[in-house]
Amino acid sequence: MESDAAKQILSLYEKHAEEFARQRSRQLFEKKWLDKFLQLLRPGGHILDIGCGNGKPIAEYFIGSGFTLTGVDGSAAMIAQAQADFPTQRWIHRDMRHLAMDETFDGLIAWDSFFHLTQNDQRAMFPLFAALSHPGSALMFTSGTSNGTAMGTFAGEPLYHASLAPEEYRKILAQHGFSVVDVQFEDPECGYHSIWLCKKVN
C-alpha cells in the first residue's frame, strides 16, 4: 500500500487541487521560518519554490516581500492556478525529481513537498539542490523526525510521507556543500513541522 501511495502523490494532488485550495491554511503559521529563510537572501533575490502547489500562501508571501519567484510543481492544475493568480512570476509544471535547470537561485524551499518522496528519491534530490545553488544560497525543507515512512490521508485517500534519519540528512547536506543554519523538530509554533534551514558554503 505504501509503495502504491508513493507513486500516486502527483495524481492525488492533481485530482484534488480544488480541495487542497479549500483546506490549505492561509494563516501563515510558517511565517517565523519563512522570515529566517529570507534573512539569508539578498534583497529581491530569486527563490525556487519546489513543490509550490497553487502558490498560496508561501509563494504569495515571498512575492509580497519583494522577491522574484520560480515555482515548480508536478500538478498541472496547481501550476495553472498559481499562474492565474501570480502571472508576473515563472511557474513550471515538472516533477521535482527531474528538476534539471541551467541556472542557480538565491534560495530554494521545499516546504511540505520533498517529504512526499521515497527515501531513495529524497537522497537523489540533494545533488539537484546543490546544482541549483551557488555559495551563499539558502535551502529550507521539511522532514520527519526519524528514519521511516508514515501514512496520512487527504481527500479520503492515502497520503505518503517519508524521512531519513536526522544524522543522514546532516551527512548528505555536508557532502553537497550545505551547512545547517538551524533545525527544529516538531516546532509547536509552526504546526509541529520539522524544519531544516541550510546554507550553501561551497
Position 146 pLDDT exceeds 70: yes
pLDDT score for 158? 73
Encode pLDDT of 35-72 as tens digits.
999 999 999 999 999 999 999 999 999 999 999 999 99
Q: Which residue has the cell 550545505?
A: 178
AA identity, residue 102: D
**Cβ atoms of residues 165 and 185 within 8 Å:** no
Position 12 pLDDT exceeds 60: no
Using a 10 angstrom Cβ sphere, with 0-12 exposed, 13-18 middle and 19 or more buried, the burial of residue 88 is: exposed
- The mean of the pLDDT values for the chain is 90
Position 1 pLDDT exceeds 60: no
The confidence band for 160, taking pLDDT boundaries of 50, 70 and 90, is: confident
Q: Which residue has the cell 537572501?
A: 41
Position 101 pLDDT exceeds 90: yes
Residues of the chain with pLDDT > 90: what percent?
A: 77
Position 16 pLDDT exceeds 70: no
Packed helices 166-175 and 119-131: angle between N→C axes, nearest 10 degrees: 30
